[in-house]
Amino acid sequence: MKNISSKILVFSLIVGLTLFNSSCTKDLLDQVPTTELGAAQFWQTEADATTALMGAYAAVRPLFDRDYYFDGHGEYVRVRGVSSTSGNLQKGDAYHGGNYNPTGYAGSFDKYYRFLYGGVNRTNYVIENVRKMLPTASAASKPGLETVIAEARLLRGMVYFRLISMWGDVPYMGNIIYSNSEVENLARTPMAQVKDSIMADFTYAFDKLPIKGSVLGRAGKPAALAFRGKLHLFWASWNKFGWPEMDTFTPSASEATASYTAAAADFKAVINNYGLKLFRNGEPGEWGTMGNADVLPNYFYLFQPIANGDPEMIMSFTHGGTGTGQGEELMRDVAGRTHEGSQCWVFPYYEIADRYQSITTGDFAEKLIPMLPTATGARTKLNSAVNPASYANRDYRMKASIMWDYEKSIGLTSLKSTGYAPFIYKTWNQAIKIDGLDYTTYNTDASVYGYVFRKFLRNYGGLGRSEGDYAWPVMRLADVFLMYAEATNEISGPQADAIALVDQIRKRGNLPALKPEKTASKEAFFAAIEQERIIELLGEGQRGFDLRRWRAIERVWNPPYGLGVWRIDTHGANRDRYYQNLSERSYQQNYIFRIPPGERDRNPNLTQNTPWL
């Protein structure tokens, strides 16, 4: 296959050709992907096909495994930058150059666009060549080859799904691109046609995949079914709420109903047919004690390597850990300097704390009151944001997800524990005595809202900041529960089975079941579902996509030409104001991304999305 320099499909083709070192651990990273080999030397055996497939996984994984940056497009997570690559890609990887603020972001993903098309071409490379092997394959090897094609088609479908979710109409290429001339005059394909092709990929994958992947990181039937359901759900949302920035798209109420129905059917099959369960059966575990981290709720461990391969993880992308050059960057992104010199690129906004409900009432508690710690009684006043006791008796996922003043985590240097470090906002790397014991406070001077993440943060030594071995979930069972509830609610209003599934998710936060008034109407139940999506999926890259497909940006940030919304900190300071006096055009630009100008310069047939003209 020829290299196609300076074209959208070729720019990141080398991503899929990255070589891995083999090891004894039996997971996806054990396989060695192919470099460019002629058909006479390669594409001869099922092992060759599998080796090439690993190259496709290598190309697609870095397009999804740091999706937590996309949470910056919502209202509860601040992303001040992104970490450099740990070896997954060349310098200047797919996520670099993106804008992860709540507004003004959609003109900054030209590089991501190119890398996505690199993933498309890499999967096409596998699909096309393995298809050529089928006519002469033995009866024994044919099912294995079809499985390879199915996995590659699932990956291709995931990439195109991301493309249409951001850019709407995009060029569709279902075969290997060999030369510049093949793309120079290629126009954008209507989104509905691309959607149909994605559906075909997901359906083929569902038909041909085994129930469970052969090793950690390889997909099975539930993954294909869940992604097909998610595509139905997004298509239903676009048809219900409209996408006026896409002037080639006409929403249809009947299409929305049909797609919600299809989504519900797929999600129901995932839930009922494969014996899948929430992590640790959805039990909340133990809160532990305020300020300590020796005991944490089960939700915390869902985002640690102990959960790799758990049935809740319907599909995940593996990472190699120490010495592999294939580690994840989670700790580097969410932790501070006290943890292996991490950089705290990602942290919660202050406003997330009030979303965590009371385990006593099952509803929202009184809002926290921002206070300066030096104010009289600030550390003891009821509901003061700087009083640790104000955070007691709340959803266990709060303890597992964020840290407030005097919460502790394990400091790490040179892969070894340096003991517990208490987080105290604006008191960074300072000696302090707590209950008669000496500590040095957690150094997170990058965090400027009063909280930091505990979610994704390792609480043990042995791995560097860029050497994590957590298998990042791109599809979780909890998300399927919530998407099923959303789809059925849109069709028929609150249904008993959907309510029970939402209650299962709430149970892991040690919350009581939803009160009757929360399920009394379609609107009330949707609000309950959205609440659980905010808390359950915090920092997993879902919120921005939800806001856009629900047409909810104005609901969250107020209408155009308004005052916008301040983000404040636990001390009461105004930190950042978003959407202040923004024009209607600015809002439109946040709903659909800009087709990269460089690609349009090279291809005059690539039209631009209307808000970016």
* Whether residue 4 has pLDDT greater than 80: no
Choosing among 1.25.40, 1.20.1250, 3.40.50, 1.10.150, the CATH entry for 476-591 is: 1.25.40
Residue 506: pLDDT band (50, 70, 90) is very high
Query: Given 3-state DSSP classes, what are the helix, strand and coil percentages for the chain, each rounded to the nearest 5?
Result: 40, 10, 45
Q: Which pLDDT does position 244 carry in this prediction?
A: 97
DSSP letter for each residue of 414-472? TTEEEEEEEE-TT--S-EEEETTEEEE----TT--SS-EE-TT---SSSS-TT-B---E
Dihedral (C-alpha) 366, 368, 373, 377: value to the nearest 10 degrees? -10
Q: Which pLDDT does position 379 carry in this prediction?
A: 97
Q: Is the dihedral of CA 200, 128, 147, 68 positive or negative?
A: negative
Mean pLDDT value across the chain: 92
Q: Which pLDDT does position 608 carry in this prediction?
A: 97
Better pLDDT: 199 or 83: 199
Q: Which pLDDT does position 11 carry in this prediction?
A: 31
What mean pLDDT do residues 199-210 have?
Answer: 98
Contact 105, 123 (CB under 8 A): no
Better pLDDT: 152 or 23: 152
Core vs surface per residue 33-70: b (16+ CB within 10 A) or e: bbeeeeeeebbeebebbbbbbbbbbbbbbbbbbbbbbb
Going by their DSSP bridges, the two strands 452-453 and 402-403 should be labelled as antiparallel
What mean pLDDT do residues 134-138 have?
Answer: 95
CA gap 348, 364 in Å, rounded: 19
**If you count them, how many residues does the chain have?**
613
Helix (H) or strand (E) holding 407: strand 407-413
Which backbone phi and psi does 238 adopt, to 5 degrees?
A: -65, -35
What mean pLDDT do residues 339-362 have?
Answer: 97
Question: Residue 193 forms beta bridges with which residues?
Answer: none
Tell me how far the alpha carbon of residue 409 is from its chain's centroid: 24
CB atoms within 10 A of CB 555: 10
CA gap 333, 466 in Å, rounded: 9
Q: Which pLDDT does position 37 carry in this prediction?
A: 54
Tell me how far the alpha carbon of residue 385 is from its chain's centroid: 29
The two three-digit tokens of residue 520, written as one number: 């009394």
The percent of residues in the chain predicted with pLDDT above 70, rounded, is 92
Q: Which pLDDT does position 267 carry in this prediction?
A: 99
Q: Which pLDDT does position 65 carry in this prediction?
A: 94
Token pair 């996509």: residue:
545
DSSP class of residue 409 equals E
* Whether residue 311 has pLDDT greater than 60: yes
Q: Express each pLDDT in 65-90 by its tens digit.
A: 999 999 999 999 999 999 875 444 44
What mean pLDDT do residues 99-106 have?
Answer: 98
Q: Which pLDDT does position 40 carry in this prediction?
A: 62
Q: Which pLDDT does position 241 carry in this prediction?
A: 98
What mean pLDDT do residues 142-151 have?
Answer: 97
The residue ranges of every structural domain in the chain are: 330-461, 476-591
C-alpha gyration radius of the chain: 24
What mean pLDDT do residues 428-451 have?
Answer: 95
* Whether residue 2 has pLDDT greater than 50: no
Q: Express each pLDDT in 392-409 by its tens digit.
A: 999 999 999 999 999 999
The packing angle between helices 496-507 and 522-536, to 10°, is 30
> Which of 16-25, 212-221, 596-605 comes out lowest in average pLDDT?
16-25
* Whether residue 362 has pLDDT greater than 90: yes
Q: Express each pLDDT in 222-253 by its tens digit.
A: 999 999 999 999 999 999 999 999 999 999 99
Q: Express each pLDDT in 516-572 by its tens digit.
A: 999 999 999 999 999 999 999 999 999 999 999 999 999 999 999 999 999 999 999
Going by their DSSP bridges, the two strands 77-79 and 416-423 should be labelled as unpaired
Strand boundaries in 477-570, DSSP class E: 565-568
* Whether residue 390 has pLDDT greater than 70: yes
Sequence-distant (≥ 6) Cβ neighbours of residue 240 within 8 angstroms: 251, 253, 256, 260, 490
Tell me how far the alpha carbon of residue 565 is from its chain's centroid: 25
Better pLDDT: 181 or 492: 492
Instruction: Return the half-sphere exposure (C-beta side, CA atoms, 13 A cut-off) of residue 130.
Output: 28
Q: Residue 412 in 3-state DSSP?
A: strand
What mean pLDDT do residues 245-269 have?
Answer: 97
CA gap 305, 302 in Å, rounded: 8
Which backbone phi and psi does 361 adopt, to 5 degrees?
A: -95, -20
What mean pLDDT do residues 206-233 have?
Answer: 97
The two three-digit tokens of residue 206, written as one number: 């569902």
Q: Which pLDDT does position 16 carry in this prediction?
A: 34
Contact 232, 191 (CB under 8 A): no
Q: Residue 189 in 3-state DSSP?
A: strand
Q: Express each pLDDT in 39-68 by its tens digit.
A: 667 899 999 999 999 999 999 999 999 999
